[in-house]
């Protein structure tokens, strides 16, 4: 297993946030962690990122216990994670401090192309749309060539059209770069569109209710019978009747 959670529990004071989570993600896998707000899914991701230590249990990556953040595994926040005082170039090159100027320039340029921001190299984040800022953040993360990406509701602040576009962008990049992705979301459709497997969590204290394999090849047809089946299965698992 690339990323392995072993019996991870977390409490903040008297509040129990996570209970006995055991979960593995394979190399190159796209794993979605899905659950209602406050179920501890972000906490789980922060533990894997090394930003929080679990109350009990452990997380290992490539068999090594995670004790601190590491540049081999990058955390992508919502778009506010970009540095507003740096240009697009400056942001994407941020983690490349140990490279020569020339290599750095080449790498930045490569990722500007990958996320489609050619022409905006010198722009500041305040001049960009939410979706573009999110691309900058993804490019900044990929530029340091990590082997795991943690995405914490990365598209949560975007409008629904941009969100759809960003999902297919992310899938395209994921297929090109083959990183292991742990993607936290509370959006059921999003999880079924993106993931190889969806980990459905319960409300607090967060436990794994079920892990659903999404056996639909990419690109996924959002009106196919199997897509709707899996989506409804998860709706049912979360306890929603799927009616408005």
Partner 1 sequence: MSRSRLLPLTGIIAALAAWQIAFVLRPSSLIPGPIAVAQGIGELAVRGLLVKYVVASLFRVTWGYLVALVIAIPLGLALGMMRIGEMALNPILQILRPISPLAWIPIAILWFGVGDVSAIFLIFLASLLPMTVATMNAVHNIDPVHLAAARNFGIPLRARMRDVLIPAILPQLIVAMRITLGVAWLVVVAAEMIAVNSGLGFLIVDARNAGNRYDLVIAGMVLIGLVGIVLDLLMRRLERLDSVRWGYASE
Structure tokens at 233: 């299965």
Residue 175 binds partner 1, judged by CB under 8 A: no
Is the CB of residue 121 less than 8 Å from the CB of residue 112?
Answer: yes
49 binds partner 1, rule: CB under 8 A: yes
6, 24, 36, 51: residue in contact with partner 1 (rule CB under 8 A): 51
Per DSSP, 220 falls in state P
What region does 57 belong to: left with phi over 0, alpha with psi -120 to 50, or beta? left
φ, ψ dihedrals at 87, nearest 5°? -75, 175
Binding of partner 1 at residue 83 (CB under 8 A)? yes
75 is a contact residue toward partner 1 (CB under 8 A): yes
Who's near 138: CB < 8 A, 6+ residues apart? 76, 115, 154, 170, 173
CB 153 within 8 A of CB 163: no
Cβ nearer to partner 1, comparing 97 with 241: 97
User: Under the phi-then-psi rule, with left for phi > 0, alpha for psi from -120 to 50, and beta for the rest, what region is 119?
Assistant: left
Is 99 among the residues that bind partner 1 (CB under 8 A)?
A: no
Considering the complex, state which of residue 51 and residue 227 has its C-beta at the smaller distance from partner 1: 51
Classify residue 21 as exposed, middle or buried by CB count within 10 Å of its CB (0-12, 13-18, 19+): buried
Q: Given the DSSP bridges, would you call strands 56-61 and 64-65 parallel, antiparallel or unpaired? A: antiparallel
Nearer to partner 1, 179 or 231 (CB): 179
Binding track over 119-158 against partner 1, x by CB under 8 A: -----xxx-----------------x--------------
Smallest distance, partner 1 to C-beta of residue 225, A: 41
- Residue from 69, 219, 236, 239 touching partner 1 (CB under 8 A): that is 69
Cβ proximity to partner 1, 54 vs 95, nearer residue: 95
54 vs 205, beta carbon nearer partner 1: 54
Q: Does 64 bind partner 1 (CB under 8 A)?
A: no
What is the C-alpha separation between 235 and 239, in angstroms, rounded? 6
Binding site for partner 1 (CB under 8 A): 49, 51, 69-71, 74-75, 77, 80-81, 83-86, 94-95, 97, 124-126, 144
């Amino acid at each position: 297993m690339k990323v392995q959670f072993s019996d991870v529990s977390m409490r903040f004071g008297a509040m129990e946030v996570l209970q006995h989570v055991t979960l593995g993600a394979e190399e190159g896998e796209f794993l979605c962690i899905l659950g209602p707000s406050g179920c501890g899914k972000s906490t789980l991701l922060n533990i894997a990122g090394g930003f929080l230590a679990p109350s009990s249990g452990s997380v290992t990556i490539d068999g090594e216990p995670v004790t601190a953040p590491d540049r081999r595994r990058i955390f992508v926040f919502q778009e506010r994670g970009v540095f507003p005082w740096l240009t697009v170039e400056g942001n994407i090159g941020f983690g490349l401090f140990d490279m020569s100027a020339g290599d750095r320039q080449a790498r930045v340029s490569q990722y500007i192309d990958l996320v489609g921001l050619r022409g905006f190299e010198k722009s500041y984040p305040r001049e960009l749309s939410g979706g573009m800022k999110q691309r900058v953040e993804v490019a900044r993360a990929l530029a340091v060539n990590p082997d795991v990406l943690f995405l914490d509701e990365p598209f949560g602040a975007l409008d629904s059209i941009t969100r759809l576009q960003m999902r297919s962008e992310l899938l395209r990049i994921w297929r090109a770069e083959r990183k292991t992705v742990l993607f936290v979301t509370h959006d059921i459709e999003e999880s079924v569109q993106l993931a190889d497997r969806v980990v459905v969590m319960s409300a607090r204290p967060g436990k794994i209710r079920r892990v659903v394999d999404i056996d639909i090849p990419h690109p996924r047809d959002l009106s196919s019978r199997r897509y709707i089946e899996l989506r409804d299965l998860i709706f049912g698992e979360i306890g929603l009747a799927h009616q408005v």
